[in-house]
Amino acid sequence: MSVLVGKKAPVFNSKAVVNGGEIIENFSLLQYIGKQYVVFYFYPADFTFVCPTEIIAFQERISEFQSRNVAIVGASTDSPFSHWKWLQTAQNNGGIEGVKYPLVSDQNLQISKAYDVLAGAEEYDEEGNETFEGEPQAYRGLFLIDKNGIVRHQVVNDMPLGRSVDETLRIIDALQFTEEYGEVCPANWKKGEKAMKATQEGVADYLSHKH
């Protein structure tokens, strides 16, 4: 598993569905550089079970991300037409109608490979022909990318394990706090709580006030 934290987020151009129903040809995260933070997350597949709960959960909290100047972008290895069809399907019928943020199509698996979240692996037979072993789907990877295009946080869950929108917002708050004030955020820190200076004295002061 690659650790991308501290590195430039891998660049890509791919088809995506935006605004809940418009397929565009060349979607890239570069459009956010210098303007917004990005939560870029992968999910295994359209028309599944855990995936819609996550996709809809991010949409339901979209105003909280917008207030923090954060764009949400999802991705899977499905085709853009699969994304489009799912977005037109009512939520009470297994769909994700009402989701407005972009869903990227990684049909050629290159984005999932670049972010190292692709399940399965490419193998070669005795004749040297390339085959793919396993399901060509992405694990539940999530990457927080800052306005300079640097990955500042990543988490990767196995397919049955849904992610926490609350934790994603907490991490964004912590990153933005450290950028603004230069202090560091201790365990379980939440917005509005005391942070600390990155010194021995800072730790001691924080722990003395905590207890």
Catalytic positions, written as ranges: 51
Tokens of 50: 């855990």
Closest CA to 182 of 193, 197, 201: 197
One-letter amino acid of 159: M
Residue with token string 């489009």: 84
* Contacts (Cβ under 8 Å, ≥6 apart) of 64: 169
- CB atoms < 10 A from the CB of 102, how many? 22
Report whether 165 contacts 45 (CB < 8 A). Answer: no
Q: How far apart are the C-alpha atoms of 86 and 73, rounded to whole Å? A: 16
Q: How far apart are the C-alpha atoms of 21 and 99, rounded to whole Å? A: 9
